[in-house]
Structure 1
Amino acid sequence: MTSSPHTQTTRTGARPTTARDWIPDQPGAWMMALSPALAGMIVGGPNLTTLWLLVAWTLCYCVQFTASRWLTSRFARRYLPPAATYAAALVVVGLPFLIMHPTVLWWAPLYAVLAALSFAAAWLRRERTLWGNAVAVVAACSMAMVVASFGSRAASAAHPALVNGGPPAAVTFLLVQFGSVLFVKTMIRERGKRAYLLASWGWHAALLAVAAVLWAVLGFGRPFVMPLILCVWLLARAVALPLIARRRRLKPIVAGVVEIVSSLLAFAAVVMTF
């Protein structure tokens, strides 16, 4: 009896490429990856160069997502077309930017290390570990400084990489997003593990304490009101939702929606403060 094409496909393990293989399917991940770069564009002074860089970074994210799946699957054919297409698009968009703005190479060593670590995590299938998540967080949050360094306000800065709110924006996003990593683990992969729960609570309590001190030291001024409100929200959700999840099972989408709200609040805090 002759096997059907469907049976042959199942036996060989070669599945066709689908739309889900092309587009990262987690809105929360999109927010975490792109919001620091968008904030950097705003605090550094938006212009066509920063918009161009934002497009290039979006393609970088798509390359990382698809190439990581290709590596994790040990080079499954279905993941190669998206990875190759996004890589080609990145060359088309990024190479002219590099030629016109060679100073972007100042950031090359950092991102070369981060890319190597990210793809190593994918190959080892360790992307969901704390160190794998930390690599993604550092890469995304550093883009606040990278994009700001090409903003319209960079010309008046002593060093473009330190323009205006670029560094504090990057640090703020980094602290918030790593806290998000801890929180999500308490809700999904590490649900019920006390060590992660205490780490998440301790991290967010420390963030709130720092925000409160800065607000007090600066004379209870308006600039740090939004970071303070943000940190209150972050600690509240880090404490409340895992406790609720002990009594009733919450779907992963709940944590995802909450983190979209957290990312929006972090974005607003950065833009309004720096």
Structure 2
Amino acid sequence: MKKYIPNQHGAWAMLVLPFLLGVAASRGQFIHIPLFVCWLLIYLFSFPLLQGVKTRKFARYAQPLRLYGLLLLPFALYLVIIQPVLLGFVLLLLPLFAINLYYARIKNERALLNDISAIVAFCLVIYPVYYVGQGENWRAVNELFVLAVLYFTGTAFYVKTVIRERNNIRFYYGSVAYHLLFAAAGLYLFPSLLVPLLVLLLRAAILPRTGISAKHTGIIEIGFSVMLYVSVLLLYF
């Protein structure tokens, strides 16, 4: 199953949270169901594709590519037929995915630029979700997009302090400083969300000092994403 299911727990939060924020900012519609299935299949299809680029062993990943490609095609065609504007969203994703392909090719997928390009790509889904949900407050969706990008960028810094930069004290202080600035910016951009932003600051400051494992970090990060989503529902709208 390693060829079929991505093993990065935190990526699932990036897949789901921006989508749910888009639904929350608009109105839930039936089209959100096939749109989410399509979004999920795009992610699942991209995983073996990137692995094939990285290892140069496409034959090994041919089966998951074929499976997810065949499942994806009818959903993609359905969405493009009823909402042709979604093609514009795909065009926005292409240069970002090209960056991911490049870093997979040079086997440096942990590069910060690669992380940020993936984060922006994941967070951009909020716009098509909002559009098909017939949302009317574009200022709110723009703010939620910024919130998601800042949150997941902070997560990228924090996770590196737990794994690859575990013994890099400068990187640790950089991560804490980023979260401090994030919380400070929240006073202006999202004042109602200051408490969850302070929780994220404490996460970045305390958890890397506990010796937490990479696996537990990814799993716990799903909990922090749920906290942020619930906070948006209760405090932002």
TM-score by length of 1: 0.80
- Residues in 2 aligned to 1:192 and 1:122: alpha-carbon distance in whole angstroms: 25
**Structure 1 residues without counterparts, runs of 5 or longer:** 1-18, 216-223
**Residues 90 and 41 of structure 1, relative CA distance in 2, 3 Å threshold:** same
Q: Which residue of 2 aligns with 1:240?
A: 206
Deviation at 1:189, TM superposition (A): 0.9
1:178 maps onto 2:153 in alignment: yes
Checking the alignment, whether the CA contact within 8 Å between 1:172 and 1:270 is kept in structure 2 is no
Seq. identity, % = 28
Deviation at 1:213, TM superposition (A): 4.1
1:103 maps onto 2:78 in alignment: no
Aligned length: 236
TM-score by length of 2: 0.92
RMSD (CA atoms): 1.8
1:125 maps onto 2:100 in alignment: no
- Residues in 2 aligned to 1:147 and 1:135: alpha-carbon distance in whole angstroms: 20
Partner amino acid for 1:173? A
1:251 maps onto 2:213 in alignment: yes
Between 162-171 and 65-74, the greater mean CA deviation after superposition: 162-171
Q: Which residue of 1 aligns with 2:25?
A: 43
Larger RCO (CA within 8 A; separation ≥ 6): 2
Spell out structure 1 runs of 4+ moving beyond 4 A. none
Deviation at 1:199, TM superposition (A): 1.8
Higher radius of gyration, 1 or 2: 1
- Residues in 2 aligned to 1:108 and 1:76: alpha-carbon distance in whole angstroms: 24
**Residues 209 and 142 of structure 1, relative CA distance in 2, 3 Å threshold:** same
**Residues 120 and 214 of structure 1, relative CA distance in 2, 3 Å threshold:** closer
Q: Which residue of 2 aligns with 1:203?
A: 178
**Residues 239 and 68 of structure 1, relative CA distance in 2, 3 Å threshold:** same
Deviation at 1:164, TM superposition (A): 6.0
**Structure 2 residues without counterparts, runs of 5 or longer:** none
Cα deviation, 1:72-115, whole Å, max 9, x if unaligned, reads 11024221210222122211210121121111123233111112
Checking the alignment, whether the CA contact within 8 Å between 1:176 and 1:266 is kept in structure 2 is no
Q: Which residue of 2 aligns with 1:52?
A: 34
- Residues in 1 aligned to 2:75 and 2:139: alpha-carbon distance in whole angstroms: 27
